[in-house]
Structure formats: structure tokens, C-alpha cells
Amino acid sequence: MVAIPFEVSRSAGPGQKPRFDKFTVNVSEETPILTALLQIRSELDPSLGLRYSCRQAICGSCAMRVNGKSRLVCSTPVGPEFRAHGKVVIEPMANQPVVKDLITDMTPFWDRYRRVHPHLILDPAHPLPKDKESSMTPEQFDQFKETPRCIACGACYSACPALGSDDEFLGPMALAKMYRFVVDPRDSAYRQRLATIQNQSLWLCLRCNMCVEACPKDVRPAERIVDLKRLAIQELGAPEQGSRHAEKFMTNIEDGGVLNEMKLARETLGIFGTLKQIPKGIQMMRHGRSLKKHPPIQGVQEVKVIYSELNKPEDLMHRPRPAGKGVKGGGQ
């Protein structure tokens, strides 16, 4: 048994400034943080508010921040956190209003989930067979083997820095969920789904991979979002800033093998956008930061061969995907 100092965020409700209450609990290092919190509630402070249910990483109720990281507390042991930080600081999930103490109001999370229409949309002209199961190939199934594992715990939503900075972003869970329907061969709204996110939300993902680390089920939302970006470009072209930037970056490197920063700005931002960047350019030049074009790399012809061979549509729907890191915690 080890005496573990806890600092727990306490808040009376929405908009109230939280305070940190200190508790010490005697538990073994393997003890799940949830168990320690329940011990605090039963022995030290019965007013502590927290949400939990299954205690085995299935229900997705107990996501919180543990020393800043978004985690299911039922499957996170006390020991490593205590050893790394000398204490365990518990806060409610981020990016959502707090109801009380460690309980958040997940309405913004569920609103975004609803916005991606998380259900099969069938084409009435091609109904599913009534008398037998609707089959798909193992390759088709492979495309969404990660996403159905999601337990909607909100850990990714809490960990996402884009969500905290832009209300328009749909967030990792909702977009990963949309991906699951986009690649489902039974779904008929494939292009419409992509079109609804193409304009803005899709391209606000920062690719920071915080969601990949936070997800207890290895759904790897950031990677599913990149999958969506490729599908969107392939199906709908590059009609707006985000996809245009990716496309123009790609063709930019074909020219000289190395980035031409000025050209990229001009092509992505257009004439007016580039004009707006002029004061920044002057400021940079004053500090000796030239934006001179870099000469082409040696062997730029080799790069051009790679482009001529591979700058073609990829088979994005039916390609087997390598296995991920495996599922953390119990249950499936």
C-alpha cells in the first residue's frame, strides 16, 4: 500500500471557478484511479460528484483528465501517475461545461455526433436483401474495423486542441464515426456526407494526434480524419482552402523537389490572400528572412518520375490496413 496524494477539481456548477481539494488515499499502485476516487467519496467526502458505471472500460462513462491527460479512470492505474508526478491531479473532461466536480455536460459532444447522421442511409432504389444477410468482403470490412470499437467516452473530445479553439470543428469522434459510414458499402450517402464536411470542419483537424493517444479503444481518430481528407479530395476535388492547400503543396514539390514557400502562399491563398501577407513578408525580410526560391534539388527528375507513376487516384476504399497498436483496457 502507498499513500497517494490526490488533488481533485471541485466545482459547484457551470461557470463556477473550480478549486482543488486535497486527499490522501492508501491503495496499491495497481489500483484503478476510479477505485481510489470511490474510496475518497465513501471515506473522506461523500459530496464528490463523478460519473461511472461498468468499471471495465466498456461503458465509457468515466473519462476525466488525469494529470492533464484524458483517460478512462477505471482502466488507468494510480502507480505510474504517482511515480511520474508525485501526485494525481484529477479534473473533469475539457471542452465541455462542468455540471458538478468531475461531471460534465456532454451535450456539445452528442450534438456533433448527431450532425454526422450516425446511421446507415440506404438508397430506396437498392434496398438491402430481406431474406438473407447483407454481405461484404473481408477487405471492405477491414476499412472500418477500428471505428465500431468507439464507446463514445469523450476522451478524444476532451483532448482535442482544435475543439477548444474553434466551435465549427466536429471533433475526432464525430468525424471517425462519419468515416465508418462513408466506407460502408451499404451506405448510399457517401458523397453527400463528404460534401457536408469538405467545406470547413474536415480541414480544421490539426493532425496533432492527441486523440490517438487519448482513445482507450485504438480507434485512431486523427488517422481516420486523414482518410476522410483523401477521400474528399478524390471524390470532390479541391474546392476550398484546406484541400487546395494539400493539393498545391503536392504539386509544389513536383516542381523542384523542395518547397517554394512564396508559390505555395500565392496558390493556396489566391491574389487577395497573398496581398494580405505582404506586411508579414516585409517584416520577415527586415529580419533577414529571405523568401527566395530554393534551387531545385539534385535529381529532381527522380522526383518527377515518382509523381508520374503515383500521382494517380489511389484505391482508398478497399485496401487492407495494417493492424494498430491494439486495444487498451478491458472489453471490446
**Residue selected from 112, 203, 217, 224 as contacting another protein according to rule CB under 8 A:** 203
Query: According to the binding rule CB under 8 A, does residue 302 interact with another protein?
Result: yes
Query: According to the binding rule CB under 8 A, does residue 9 interact with another protein?
Result: no
Query: According to the binding rule CB under 8 A, does residue 141 interact with another protein?
Result: no
Total residues interacting with another protein, rule: CB under 8 A: 73
Contact 193, 181 (CB under 8 A): yes
Interaction residues for another protein, span 35-94 (CB under 8 A): 67-69, 84
Contact 169, 115 (CB under 8 A): no
Query: According to the binding rule CB under 8 A, does residue 213 interact with another protein?
Result: yes
Please, what is the minimum distance in Å from the beta carbon of residue 135 to another protein?
Answer: 23
Interaction residues for another protein, span 223-252 (CB under 8 A): 223, 226, 229-230, 233, 241-243, 245-247, 249-250
Q: Give the C-alpha separation, 71 to 217, whole Å.
A: 11
Q: Residue 205 is inside which H or E element, if any?
A: none
- CB-wise, 13 or 164, nearer to another protein? 164
- CB-wise, 164 or 239, nearer to another protein? 164
Q: What is the 3-state secondary structure (H, E, C) of 150-185?
A: CCCCCHHHHHCCCCCCCCCCCCHHHHHHHHHHHCCC
- CB-wise, 43 or 302, nearer to another protein? 302
Q: Give the C-alpha separation, 228 to 250, whole Å.
A: 17
Query: According to the binding rule CB under 8 A, does residue 325 interact with another protein?
Result: yes
Contact window for another protein (CB under 8 A) among 4-12, 124-132, 148-156, 316-324: 316-324
What is the per-residue DSSP string for 299-332? THHHHHHHHHHH-S----SS------S---SS--
Interaction residues for another protein, span 155-194 (CB under 8 A): 161-162, 164-166
Q: Give the C-alpha separation, 224 to 123, whole Å.
A: 25
- Residue 286's φ and ψ, nearest 5 degrees, are -60, -30
**Residue selected from 120, 122, 128, 284 as contacting another protein according to rule CB under 8 A:** 284
